[in-house]
Structure 1
Amino acid sequence: MAEDAILGYLASHEEIPDSGKFASQHGLQQNDVVNVIKSLHGFRYIDAQDIKRESWMLTDEGKKYAAEGSPEVQLFLAVPPEGFIAKDELQKKLDPSVFKIGCSQAGKNKWVDMGKQVSRKVQHVEDKVKDLLVRIQDGQTIDKDDINSLKARKLIVAQTWKGYSVRKGPNYASKRKKVATDLTRENLQRGDWKELEFKEYNFNAKGPLADAGHLHPLLKVKQQLKNIFLQMGFEEMPTNNFVESSFWNFDALFQPQQHPARDSHDTFFLEAPSTTRQLPEDYVELVKRVHESGGYGSRGYMYDWKREEANKNLLRTHTTAVSTRMLYALAKQPFAPKRYFSIDRVFRNESVDRTHLAEFHQIEGLVCDRGLTLGDLIGVLNDFFSRLGMSKLRFKPAYNPYTEPSMEIFSYHEGLKKWVEIGNSGMFRPEMLLPMGFPEDVRVIAWGLSLERPTMILYGIDNIRDLFGHKVDLSLIKRNPICRLGID
């Protein structure tokens, strides 16, 4: 309706000088007229020039005085024409704000004598303030000095009106042509595509924002940890085998077959394939011997080692199974020091609660070199964790089947104001390393921690099920910030 009115009017007139007046004269909404003008201007049917007009409108206080009179006049009229009135009595007759402003303005105008007794100094006054406010309300113009006076008293505020003046554009027509935006199958079948006029393609227009993917908090922290390992000269181990044999997961680590961790209550064993297809037989024999009767200065566990237990397939319970394979492969080559790390998923048959899941991520690092000592392990741990922003460390002796000595790692948590356990560490036992074929002076230091715990601390998550698993809120993944660890 607004479009027809504008194009039709310009057919017989040179210009629409004021879109606001045009809208009121034709019974149209100003917003509708403005939107149509913008659209027609974009297609060059019309040329539009901005118009700005500043007008004044009354504040709530100004509207009140326009209806009831200014405070100074209200106060003047409250004083008896002949005689006087006590100031306290006068105050009771007026609104507190009216009394306060009226005293100031009436005294300034020398209309009254202000003291304990208030009396008139003149008998008649004009309410110029009210008259000015009413004139503004009626759309009349007033002097600049009067405007400044009312503005200083915060009785009026400026209001800017925006509109357009309109003339015919280079593409003017009394009716907008409908241009096609798509070439359809029907157009081609009917052959009317030859007569269609298509909308010009705007190469400068921005397309809709693509709904890009978002990194999970675990992936962000994982990448930061990878960067730390790489800065320290570590090489990442391949961790693509979730299914592992009991041999590589337990036996090669010198973990006895009767150990509680190998029970089905703690480990997920596979039904199919239930056993591994092949193992390095010469190495298996050496592992069996050290379990049963020891060697390399050890008495072993002195039990009958069973091959069928070692053959069982399972979901790996730790990434140390990967470390075992890597060390075995390293021992088959001329010795060269190595630093390895891995960050990947492991599986435990645990009851799920706010701090435990049946699957989680393990971070593991190890250093293989000649003559390493416990002091080297402590030094590497201090370097590693300081790059995570954990500079206060403590170590506590612990027991692991495949490391001796072993240490639990504690860090002081500034937020919790207490020491918290952050990982486990140790030196791999000779019973594990020497059957692989390493020289006797080669030592391996290693440590491990979970990925979920530091991520929960960094992102303020107190339930692991809100971080990992099918109950994760997808909006959390979209809005979580970039991970920043305390890297020195």
Structure 2
Amino acid sequence: MPTNNFVESSFWNFDALFQPQQHPARDSHDTFFLQVPSTTKTLPEDYVERVKRVHEFGGYGSRGYEYDWKREEAEKNLLRTHTTAVSSRMLYLLAQEGFAPKRYFSIDRVFRNEAVDRTHLAEFHQIEGLVCDRGLTLGDLIGVFNDFFGRLGMSKLKFKPAYNPYTEPSMEIFGYHEGLKKWVEIGNSGMFRPEMLLPMGLPEDVRVIAWGLSLERPTMILYGVDNIRDLFGHKVDISLIKRNPICRIGIE
């Protein structure tokens, strides 16, 4: 997926993902909002209207959030809090072009206004992926994780039910960190809700499994790093890079 734009509108970052405008993640203490340019004016008008209706009144089996949706909130620019904003753009584009089964993937930087500690950064990398096809289930999603992390040598995984505004069912993924002697959350995932997919124009029988994984935390587990600030940022030990081989990724 093309993830080269760090600045995103609140519409694609939140509203298109069926995340209500009063959600705490949209507060300034969780998100970095831009002052210049503070807003965007380039949104697909017909799609914006459908998103507005599903937020206010529901549809597609949902009652919505029953609040007064505001265009000015959706137009606010921010530093993207997840690359799922790009996923929403790609799925909308797929719906306009005519649906065909697809697999999307990206690794890029995201930003969250949160306190920095041993396992949290305000700026980090997200591994984003989704598969859209007919007949997909949560079992397919779990199978992807077991295969993906198994190939990395991480066999100690567990899954916990979670809540996301844009996925149902949702689950968090945890990996066991031998150094910290505890389970560390390494990602979030789920199946995108009909309230998100159907306003885009996707067929009713299409299902999308999706995940957003941390890049830094699995790396901590693999290399036994117990402080994320030693892995990413100004405190990185350059000798750690020199001692480890380069990984070349081939794209088919």
What displacement does 1:387 show?
Answer: 1.6
What displacement does 1:277 show?
Answer: 2.5
Rate the CA distance shift 1:362–1:374 in 2: closer, same or farther, 3 A: same
Partner of 2:88: 324
Q: Distance in 2 between matches of 1:446 and 1:420?
A: 20
Check whether the contact 2:175–2:218 (CA below 8 A) recurs between aligned residues: no
**CA distances 1:460-485 after superposition (whole Å, capped 9, x unpaired):** 32222222122334344334445699
Rate the CA distance shift 1:412–1:459 in 2: closer, same or farther, 3 A: closer
What displacement does 1:304 show?
Answer: 0.1
**CA distances 1:187-233 after superposition (whole Å, capped 9, x unpaired):** xxxxxxxxxxxxxxxxxxxxxxxxxxxxxxxxxxxxxxxxxxxxxxx
Check whether the contact 2:176–2:221 (CA below 8 A) recurs between aligned residues: no
Rate the CA distance shift 1:423–1:445 in 2: closer, same or farther, 3 A: same
More deviation, 281-290/477-486 = 477-486
What displacement does 1:376 show?
Answer: 1.8
1:459 matched to 2:223: yes
Partner of 2:63: 299
Check whether the contact 2:154–2:222 (CA below 8 A) recurs between aligned residues: no
Check whether the contact 2:166–2:196 (CA below 8 A) recurs between aligned residues: yes
Rate the CA distance shift 1:421–1:355 in 2: closer, same or farther, 3 A: closer
1:284 matched to 2:48: yes
**CA distances 1:330-383 after superposition (whole Å, capped 9, x unpaired):** 111221100111110000001122222210001111100012112222222222
What displacement does 1:415 show?
Answer: 6.0
Runs of 5+ consecutive residues of structure 1 not aligned to the other structure: 1-236
Check whether the contact 1:396–1:408 (CA below 8 A) recurs between aligned residues: yes
RMSD (Å), alpha carbons? 2.7
Per residue, is there more helix in 1 or in 2? 1
Q: Distance in 2 between matches of 1:487 and 1:322?
A: 20
Which secondary structure does the structure 2 equivalent of 1:329 belong to? helix
Rate the CA distance shift 1:268–1:487 in 2: closer, same or farther, 3 A: closer
Which secondary structure does the structure 2 equivalent of 1:408 belong to? strand
**CA distances 1:129-163 after superposition (whole Å, capped 9, x unpaired):** xxxxxxxxxxxxxxxxxxxxxxxxxxxxxxxxxxx
Rate the CA distance shift 1:371–1:467 in 2: closer, same or farther, 3 A: same
**CA distances 1:286-337 after superposition (whole Å, capped 9, x unpaired):** 0000000001111000000000000000000000001000000011122110
Rate the CA distance shift 1:478–1:388 in 2: closer, same or farther, 3 A: closer
Check whether the contact 1:389–1:485 (CA below 8 A) recurs between aligned residues: no
Rate the CA distance shift 1:380–1:240 in 2: closer, same or farther, 3 A: same
Rate the CA distance shift 1:413–1:353 in 2: closer, same or farther, 3 A: closer
Rate the CA distance shift 1:420–1:291 in 2: closer, same or farther, 3 A: same
Identity of aligned residues (%): 91
- Of 254, 262, 269, the residue aligned with 2:26 is 262
Per residue, is there more strand in 1 or in 2? 2
Q: Distance in 2 between matches of 1:436 and 1:243?
A: 22
Partner of 1:10: none
Rate the CA distance shift 1:482–1:320 in 2: closer, same or farther, 3 A: same
Which secondary structure does the structure 1 equivalent of 2:97 belong to? coil
Rate the CA distance shift 1:370–1:392 in 2: closer, same or farther, 3 A: same
Rate the CA distance shift 1:463–1:390 in 2: closer, same or farther, 3 A: closer
Check whether the contact 2:179–2:224 (CA below 8 A) recurs between aligned residues: no
What displacement does 1:394 show?
Answer: 2.6
Which secondary structure does the structure 2 equivalent of 1:350 belong to? coil
Check whether the contact 1:388–1:487 (CA below 8 A) recurs between aligned residues: no
Check whether the contact 1:410–1:422 (CA below 8 A) recurs between aligned residues: yes
Q: Distance in 2 between matches of 1:289 and 1:467?
A: 44
Check whether the contact 1:368–1:442 (CA below 8 A) recurs between aligned residues: yes
Which secondary structure does the structure 2 equivalent of 1:410 belong to? strand
Which secondary structure does the structure 1 equivalent of 2:169 belong to? strand
Q: Distance in 1 between matches of 2:156 and 2:251?
A: 14
Which secondary structure does the structure 2 equivalent of 1:482 belong to? coil
Q: 1 or 2 for the larger relative contact order (CA 8 Å, sep ≥6)?
A: 2
Q: Distance in 2 between matches of 1:307 and 1:416?
A: 45
Runs of 5+ consecutive residues of structure 2 not aligned to the other structure: none
1:469 matched to 2:237: no
Rate the CA distance shift 1:408–1:335 in 2: closer, same or farther, 3 A: same
Q: Distance in 1 between matches of 2:250 and 2:172?
A: 22
Aligned positions of 1:123-162 closer than 5 A: none
Rate the CA distance shift 1:276–1:402 in 2: closer, same or farther, 3 A: same
**CA distances 1:81-113 after superposition (whole Å, capped 9, x unpaired):** xxxxxxxxxxxxxxxxxxxxxxxxxxxxxxxxx
TM score, norm. by length of structure 1: 0.49
Check whether the contact 2:177–2:221 (CA below 8 A) recurs between aligned residues: no
More deviation, 407-416/306-315 = 407-416
Q: Distance in 1 between matches of 2:183 and 2:250?
A: 18
Rate the CA distance shift 1:386–1:487 in 2: closer, same or farther, 3 A: farther
Which secondary structure does the structure 2 equivalent of 1:351 belong to? coil
